[in-house]
Amino acid sequence: MHDDIDRILLDEARIISGIDSIAAELTELYRNVDLTVVAVLKGSCVFVADLIRRIPVPLQLAFACAESYRQGTEPGTLDLRLLPHGEEVAGQYVLLVDDILDSGRTMEAIQKELFDRGALDVKTCAFLDKPVRRQVDIRADFRCFEIEDVFAVGYGLDFAGKYRNLPYVGALRPEVFNASLSGGA
């Protein structure tokens, strides 16, 4: 698996210090309100686990499931498969957490659904941000790292369902996704 990585973009120590810096702000912001953290599956699973353990305030955890990437690296149709129950969201301050803000379509669509379900406030939190790829008018209220326009894997982010368990964020070797797109392993 490590052999498929071209270069490491963020190592484990940098990841943790990036999370620590936003966690301090989030702790202050949400100290005295009813907070629900909504994590977008599957990509944010590793990030949200590290993040919530650094926000020592009472909170609920809920999940949404969105798929926008099929086999390739370009966004496909957005498919929202699971959303939090009304009672997890209505009257709550919501922090919507995703692995990466790319075109912005996923966060925009889920944020709208959460407001429709009665959230008082929905702030967006992205582990990674690729602002040059944005297609809709949305920004991360909180983000750990801005990255260049490369396809990132690891720390929850996948390619064709794999690499989520890498402990760092890396750029895939181009021949790996070219091989996969043309039907190889």
Query: Which residues are known catalytic residues?
Result: 102
110 binds, among ligand 5GP, Mg ion, none (CB under 5 to 8 A by kind): none
90 vs 158, which CB is nearer to ligand 5GP? 158
The interface with ligand 5GP within residues 12-41 (CB under 6 A) comprises 40
Q: Does 88 bind ligand 5GP (CB under 6 A)?
A: no
Q: Does 43 bind ligand 5GP (CB under 6 A)?
A: yes
Residues that bind Mg ion (CB under 5 A): 43
127 binds, among Mg ion, ligand 5GP, none (CB under 5 to 8 A by kind): none
Q: Does 157 bind ligand 5GP (CB under 6 A)?
A: yes
Residue 99, CA distances (Å) to 4, 60, 81, 119, 179 in order: 21, 19, 17, 21, 25
Q: Does 180 bind ligand 5GP (CB under 6 A)?
A: no
The interface with ligand 5GP within residues 97-126 (CB under 6 A) comprises 98-106
106 vs 111, which CB is nearer to ligand 5GP? 106
Where does this chain bind ligand 5GP (CB under 6 A)? Answer: 40, 43, 68-69, 75, 98-106, 151-153, 157-159
